[in-house]
């Protein structure tokens, strides 16, 4: 495991670099108050002499032979800043924010949001979980009428879009402030155990449901293609049929199998022991 402090925007930068949110992760769920706090921090940072603002840590592992980074911790921050950048680009394209650097919009779009040289049909750098990905891509490529309004991705984008056009800053000023966000970039080695690290992060405050932890336990050790297959065939239907309360479903399943009702906040550990 290796780690160092660096600007978040440097973590984003780089050709052939993509950020993959593994299927065992939860969906994007930052609330408006989290986005409000980030934007207020940026405004304070802009109005101060501070050179940096600590924005947490990002834990990732690199897929062998590629620049793809599997995000083990930090997907909420990466997704949120990506939404902020998209809102900046769209606001400038629509003439609602000024820019001194005429090429800044193109720079943000091509260096931090997409990889135009990617051989895959989808050239977006961030690959969220399936339903989040549909909403995210719509913000980049589709007209507003086709945005997925019920998605948390779209709601937070709308929040930032409104804040940006009312903030009174130029695109250049806001981007220079974002460049002051600093993270601890932690990269796992091949012999590091992502499962143990994920559990350790969770035990120190990562707010995951019992089902989130079970999904991680079941999928994390598998190859990406097998993860995708099992998630699509089994886990996603379970989430949809239970109205996104799979924790209760797993408790009922274990109750039938074991003949006793477990505590809902201990279902992950009960499932682990059962498995």
Token duo for residue 20 = 């993959």
Whole-angstrom distance, CA of residue 275 vs CA of residue 269: 10
CA–CA distances in Å: residue 143 to residues 56, 137, 140: 33, 11, 9
Lowest model confidence (mean pLDDT) among 20-24, 86-90, 144-148:
20-24
Taking the CB of residue 135, how many other CB atoms lie within 10 A of it? Answer: 21
**Residues 6 or more apart from 227 whose CB is under 8 A from it?**
22, 23, 24, 219
Query: In the beta sheet, which residues pair with residue 69?
Result: 19, 62
- Global pTM? 0.75
Residue-wise pLDDT for 200-256, tens only, equals 555 444 467 888 888 888 887 787 788 888 988 998 899 889 888 889 999 999 999
Say if residues 213 and 202 touch (Cβ distance below 8 Å): yes
Mean pLDDT of the region 79-99: 96
Tell me the percentage of the chain whose pLDDT exceeds 90: 52
What is the predicted pLDDT for the residue at 188?
79
How many residues does this entry show for the chain? 275
Whole-angstrom distance, CA of residue 73 vs CA of residue 60: 7
Residue-wise pLDDT for 102-122, tens only, equals 999 999 999 999 987 666 777
Say if residues 52 and 182 touch (Cβ distance below 8 Å): yes
Residue-wise pLDDT for 15-52, tens only, equals 668 898 887 677 898 999 999 999 999 999 999 989 99
Give me the chain's average pLDDT, please: 87
């Amino acid at each position: 495991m290796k780690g160092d402090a660096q600007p978040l925007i440097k973590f984003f930068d780089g050709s052939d670099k993509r950020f993959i949110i593994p299927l065992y992760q939860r969906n994007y769920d930052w609330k408006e108050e989290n986005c409000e706090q980030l934007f207020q921090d940026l405004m304070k940072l802009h109005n101060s002499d501070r050179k940096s603002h600590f924005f947490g840590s990002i834990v990732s592992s690199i897929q062998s032979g590629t620049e793809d980074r599997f995000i083990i911790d930090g997907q909420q921050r990466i997704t949120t800043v990506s939404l902020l950048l998209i809102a900046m680009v769209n606001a400038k394209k629509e003439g609602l924010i000024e820019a001194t650097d005429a090429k800044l919009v193109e720079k943000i779009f091509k260096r931090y949001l997409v990889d135009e040289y990617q051989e895959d049909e989808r050239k977006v750098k961030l690959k969220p979980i399936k339903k989040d990905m549909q909403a995210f891509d719509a913000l980049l490529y589709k007209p507003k009428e086709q945005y997925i309004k019920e998605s948390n991705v779209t709601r937070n984008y709308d929040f930032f879009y409104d804040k940006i056009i009312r903030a009174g800053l130029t695109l250049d000023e806001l981007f220079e402030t974002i460049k002051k966000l600093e993270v601890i970039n932690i990269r796992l080695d091949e012999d590091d155990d992502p499962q143990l690290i994920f559990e350790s992060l969770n035990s120190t405050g990562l707010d995951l449901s019992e089902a989130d932890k079970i999904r991680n336990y079941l999928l994390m050790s598998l190859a990406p293609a097998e993860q995708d297959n099992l998630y699509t065939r089994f886990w996603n239907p379970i989430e949809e049929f239970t109205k996104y309360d799979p924790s209760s479903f797993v408790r009922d399943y274990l109750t039938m199998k074991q003949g006793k009702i477990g505590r809902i906040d201990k279902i992950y550990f009960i499932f682990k022991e059962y498995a």
